[in-house]
Structure 1
Amino acid sequence: MKILDRYILVSYLKTFFTVFIILMFIFVLQTIWLYIGELAGKDLDVEIILKFLLYFSPKLIPLVLPLSILLTSIMVFGSFAENYEFAAMKSSGISLQRAMRSLTFFILLLSGIAFFFANNVIPASEFKSINLRKNIAQLKPAMAISEGTFNDVGDFNIKVEDKTGENDQFLNDVIIHQKTARGGNLTVIKANRGELVGSTDSDVLSLILFDGNYYNDIPQNDPSRRANKPFAKSSFEKHTINIDISDFNDVDLDDENYKNSQNMLKISELTQSIDSFSTAYNQERRKFADVIYTRSGATQYNSNFFPNDSLPEVDNSILELYDTEEALQILNLSIGSVDALVSTANIKKQEFKTSTKQLNKFEIALHEKYVLAFACIILFFVGAPLGAIIRKGGMGLPMVIAILIFLTYHFIGIFAKNSAEDGTISPVLAAWLSTLIMLPLGVFFTYRATTDQGLLAFGNLIRPISKQLKKLALIRKEKK
C-alpha cells in the first residue's frame, strides 16, 4: 500500500470509529429512554440490564452504520479540501477517484460485513431481545397493567382508565373479566376506584376495589331458559381480589419460546416462509372463491334449468309470477343470503388484508438485508464527493448536511415501508426506494467533484437570463 493510500485510509478509519462510537452511544441512550418503563421497578440485576442493551444494540446498526459512513466521508474529504490536500494531489496528477481507491475497498469490505451482520447477528439479537422483554414484563404484573387496554394478569383480564400514585398503585375506572375453567368470561366486575397492595416478597397481589358492581351470568342447562339470559347483580363499597402471582415471579429470563417475528429470520428462512405464506394465501383465496360460488346457488342452474325452458313475459318483476306470501318469502330468503355473503366477504377481506400485510413485512425484511450493504456503498459515494465540494471539515457544517441527507434517506424508507405494508406500493420497491433515490445523487456529486464544479452551478442558471437582459437593454438603446 502506498503512503498516500495509507494516509487517507488511516485518517478515514480514525474518524469513522470515533463517529461510530459516539452515534452508537447516542442511540443506545435513546433505547434506554424508550424502554425505561419496562425496566423500572422490576428489581433487575445489572447483568440483566446490560444483557438487555447488548441484545438491542445490533438492531441499531442499520441506522448507525450508514449515518457513520456518510458523516465520516463528508468530514474527512471536506477536511482534505479545506486544507488544500486535494489541490496538492491534483497538482501531482492524482484524481478524486484515485484518492478514493483505498477507501472504496474498505467500504466494500464493510458492506460485506454489514450483510453478514444483517443476515446472522441481527436476527439472533432480535430473537434474544424480544424474548427477554416478554420475560421481564412478567416479573411484576402490577407494572404490566397498562392504561386503556385489557391486561392478562393471572385469572383476570383487567382494564383501567388511568393510574396515579407514586408507584401507580391507585387505579380509576376499573373493569375486570374473570376467567372460567372452561374458558370465557361469565363474571364482570366494575369499580370507580381501585388500589394495588402487595410486596416483592409475597406471591399474592391484592386488588382492593371501591364503589362498584358485580355481574355474574348464570349458565342454564335447559335450552328454553338460555334465551332469558339470567344473571346475578350486586353492588359493593369495598371488595378485595387476591391474585396469585407466584407464576409471574418465578420467571426464567433465559426462556426463548417466542419465535414469531420476521426480523428473527435469516434470508433462507425468510425465503421459505414467504413461499409457504404465498402458497397458503393463494389456496385460501381459491377456496373462498369456490365457497362463495357454491353458496350463491350458481351450481344449481345447470341442473334445474335448460335452454328450452321458457317463462312468460313479465312487465315489471319475476315476483309477479308468485302470490304475495311466496314473493315475500323469496325476498326474505334472498336478502338473508345476500347479507350472509356480504358479511362473510367482509370478514374474509379483513383476513386477507392481514395476511397480505404479514406477507409484505416478510418481503421487506428479506430485501432490507441486501439494502443495508448497498446503502453503505452508495452513501459513501454521496458523502466523499460532497465533502470535497463543500470544502469544510470538522463537526459543524458536515454534521448538518449529513443529518439532513440521512433524515431524508431514513424517512423516505419509513414512508415507503408503511405504504408497502398495506399494499399501496410493492414491498420490493419500498425496501430499495430510499437507496435508489440516493444513487443518482451520488453520481451527480461524484461528477461535479471530479470536474471541479461547485455544489450547484448557479452561473449556468443566471447566464441565459443575463444575456436576455443585455439584449433587451441594447434594443431599448437602439430605439432611443
Structure 2
Amino acid sequence: MTPIISSIISELKILDRYIINQYLTRLASVFAICMPIFVVQVLWLYIDELAGKGLDFETIFKFLLYFTPKLVPIVLPLSILLASLMTFGNLAENYEFAAMKSTGISLIRCMTGLFLLHIAIGVGSFYFSNHLIPYVEVKSFNLRKNLTKLKPAIAIREGVFNDLGQMSIKVKRKYGDDERLLEDVIIHEKTDDYKNRIVIKAKNGELKSKTTDATLQLVLYEGNRYEEIEGKNYQERLRFPHAKVNFKEYVMNIDLSKFNNIDLSEENYTTTYKMQKVNQLKVSIDTLERDFGAQRKIFSENFNKKHYTTQIKPIEDIEDYVSDSLIKSNILNIIKTSDDWRINQIVERSTSDVRGIIRSLENKKRNYFIYQKNINLHKMILLEKFTLIFSCVFLFLIGASLGAIIKKGGFGLPLVLGILVFLTYHFIGIFTKNASEDNSIDPVLASWISTMVLAPFTFYLTKRASSDEGFVNLDFITVPIQKIYSKYMGSKS
C-alpha cells in the first residue's frame, strides 16, 4: 500500500470519526428531549389510574420507569430522523460538504460510517425489543392490575360511581374542609349473594374518619334505604317484596384495610402477546392457528349435521295407489290440504329455524373475529421487532439526504420536515395495524407497509442528494414555459 493511499484512508477515518461525533451528539440531545415529552404523555394518559390512590413517589417512579423502555420503538426512529437531518443540514450549510466534494469525497462516502452504525443500532434495537420490552411489559401490566385494587376513600370522585368493596357510591358534589361533606349521595350495596338488592339515597353525607384510616365512617342525612327482599317461593317473588326505611341520620362503617393491603409487586399475568419473545410468539401463533382451524372444522361438521336439509317428496309425486274394493281412492289424500293455518305454521317454524341459525352464525362470527384478532396481534408484535431494524436505517438515509438537500441545520425547517416525515410514517403504520386487527389487511403486510413506503422515498432522496440536485426537479415544467414566454415576448418586441 502506497503512502498516498494510506494517507487517504487515514483522512477518511478521521472524517468518519468527525461526522459520527457530530451525529451522536445531536442524537443524544434529541433523544433526551423527546423521551421526557412522551413520558409526560404517558403520565397524562394514565392519570386516572394514578390519581386518588395515595401512591408514594417510588411507586409512581416505577410506573413511569416500566413504561419508558416501551417508548423506545417510537422515540428512537424519530430521534434518528431529526439528528441525521440536522447533522447533514448543518454540514451542508457550513459548506463542509462542498469542501469534501472538492477533495473527491462523495456524499455516499460520508454516509457510509453512519450507515454501518445504524445497522448496528437496528440490530441492537431488535434485541432491546425482544428482551427488555417483554420484561417491562410484565412489570407494567401487573402493576396496573394491582393499582386497580387500591381503593382508598379519597378515590371517591364526583359524578361517577366508585367501587368500595361490596358497594358503589356516587356523589354529586364534595365540599367543605378536606372535601368531607357530600351532596346527593347514592349507594348501591350488594348482599351476601352478590346481587344489588340495597339502594341508599341521601341528600347529604359526611366523612367522619380520616381517609387514611383503616375504617371509613360515613354518616348520611335525610334519606331513604330501599331493600329488595328475596321471596321464599315463586308466589312471594311475584309480589316483589321490599322494605323501605326513612332516616334522619344513618351511620355506615366501611372497612378499607383489605383495599390497601395490596402487594404491588405481585405478578399474576405473564403470557400476553406483548410479554413474549420471538421464539415464544412463534409457538403461540402456531398453537393459536392450529386450534382455530380445528374449531372451525368441528363447527362446520356439526353445523352440517344439525342443520342439514332434506327434500321431502311431494305427495303429488307419489305413485298411484291401487285401490281395493273397499277404498276407492288414495288414502294419502286426507293429508293433502291447503288450509291457511297449516301453511302459516310451516312458514313460522321455518322462519324461526332460520333466525336461530342466523343467531348461531352471528355469535360464532363474533367469537371467530376475536380469535382471529388475537392471532393477528401476535403476528404484528412479532414482525414489529424486525421492522424496527429497517426503519432505523431508512429514516437515517431520509434525514441525511433531506439535510444535504435543504442545506439547513438547527431546529427550524429541519425540525418541521422531520416531524412531517415521521408523522406520515407513524400514522400509516397505525392505520394499517388497526385495519389488520379486523383482518381487513394481512398482518404481515400491515407490519411492513409503513417501512415499504419509506424504501422508494429513501432511494429517491439519496439519489438526488448524491447528485447534488434539489428535492423536486421542475425543469420539465418551467423550461418549456420559459421557452414559450421568451419566444412570443421576444417576437412582439
TM interval, short-chain normalised = 0.7 to 0.9
Match of 1:283 among 294, 311, 321: 294
**Are the counterparts in 2 of residues 148 and 159 from structure 1 also a CA contact under 8 Å?**
no
Which residue of structure 2 lines up, in the alignment, with residue 104 of structure 1?
Answer: 115
Q: Per-residue displacement from partner, 1:180-202 (whole Å, max 9, x unpaired)?
A: 5455x251526476757353442
Whether 1:341 and 2:357 are equivalent positions in the alignment is yes
Displacement of 1:177: 5.0
Q: Per-residue displacement from partner, 1:24-44 (whole Å, max 9, x unpaired)?
A: 122223333333343334333
1:368 aligned partner, one-letter code? E
**Are the counterparts in 2 of residues 262 and 270 from structure 1 also a CA contact under 8 Å?**
yes
Displacement of 1:361: 1.9
CA shift in 2, pair 1:128/1:221, >3 Å: same
Whether 1:368 and 2:384 are equivalent positions in the alignment is yes
Identity %: 43
Displacement of 1:220: 4.9
1:357 aligned partner, one-letter code? K
Which residue of structure 2 lines up, in the alignment, with residue 311 of structure 1?
Answer: 315
2:197 aligned partner, one-letter code? T
Q: What is the distance in 1 between the residues matched to 2:379 and 2:199?
A: 45
Which residue of structure 2 lines up, in the alignment, with residue 246 of structure 1?
Answer: 257
1:230 aligned partner, one-letter code? F
**Are the counterparts in 2 of residues 74 and 398 from structure 1 also a CA contact under 8 Å?**
yes
Structure 1 window deviating more from structure 2 (415-424 vs 28-37): it is: 28-37
Which residue of structure 1 lines up, in the alignment, with residue 3 of structure 2?
Answer: none
CA shift in 2, pair 1:47/1:392, >3 Å: same
Match of 2:482 among 460, 466, 469: 466
Q: What is the distance in 1 between the residues matched to 2:36 and 2:299?
A: 52
Displacement of 1:379: 0.2
Q: How many residues align?
A: 463
CA shift in 2, pair 1:200/1:162, >3 Å: closer
CA shift in 2, pair 1:133/1:170, >3 Å: farther
Q: What is the distance in 2 between the residues matched to 1:347 and 1:163?
A: 43
1:343 partner SS: helix
Displacement of 1:94: 0.6
Whether 1:353 and 2:369 are equivalent positions in the alignment is yes
Q: Per-residue displacement from partner, 1:334-356 (whole Å, max 9, x unpaired)?
A: 23322322222222222222222
TM-score, structure 1 length as denominator? 0.85
Match of 1:416 among 415, 432, 435: 432
Whether 1:8 and 2:12 are equivalent positions in the alignment is no
1:23 aligned partner, one-letter code? C
Displacement of 1:128: 0.6
2:265 partner SS: coil
Displacement of 1:119: 0.8
Q: Per-residue displacement from partner, 1:289-340 (whole Å, max 9, x unpaired)?
A: 3343333243xx38xx5xxx44328xxxxx9746444444433432332232
Displacement of 1:408: 1.5
Which residue of structure 2 lines up, in the alignment, with residue 137 of structure 1?
Answer: 148
Q: What is the distance in 1 between the residues matched to 2:94 and 2:66?
A: 42
Q: How does 1:68-467 map to 2 (within 5 A)?
A: 68-142=79-153, 152-156=163-167, 158=168, 160=170, 164-165=174-175, 178-183=189-194, 185-189=195-199, 191=201, 197=207, 198-206=209-217, 216-220=227-231, 222=233, 228=238, 230-234=240-244, 236=246, 241-259=252-270, 261-298=272-309, 301=310, 309-312=313-316, 321=337, 323-467=339-483
Structure 1 window deviating more from structure 2 (361-370 vs 382-391): it is: 361-370
1:276 aligned partner, one-letter code? T
Q: What is the distance in 2 between the residues matched to 1:312 and 1:423?
A: 50
**Are the counterparts in 2 of residues 186 and 216 from structure 1 also a CA contact under 8 Å?**
no
**Are the counterparts in 1 of residues 81 and 399 from structure 2 also a CA contact under 8 Å?**
yes
CA shift in 2, pair 1:393/1:293, >3 Å: same
2:472 partner SS: coil
Q: What is the distance in 2 between the residues matched to 1:174 and 1:334?
A: 53
CA shift in 2, pair 1:211/1:115, >3 Å: farther
Displacement of 1:150: 6.5
CA shift in 2, pair 1:49/1:444, >3 Å: same
In structure 1, runs of 5+ residues without a counterpart are: 314-318
Displacement of 1:431: 1.8
2:148 aligned partner, one-letter code? A
Cα root mean square deviation, aligned: 3.3
**Are the counterparts in 2 of residues 218 and 229 from structure 1 also a CA contact under 8 Å?**
no
CA shift in 2, pair 1:56/1:250, >3 Å: same
Structure 1 window deviating more from structure 2 (122-131 vs 207-216): it is: 207-216
In structure 2, runs of 5+ residues without a counterpart are: 1-9, 318-334
TM-score, structure 2 length as denominator? 0.83
**Are the counterparts in 2 of residues 81 and 391 from structure 1 also a CA contact under 8 Å?**
yes
Displacement of 1:419: 1.8
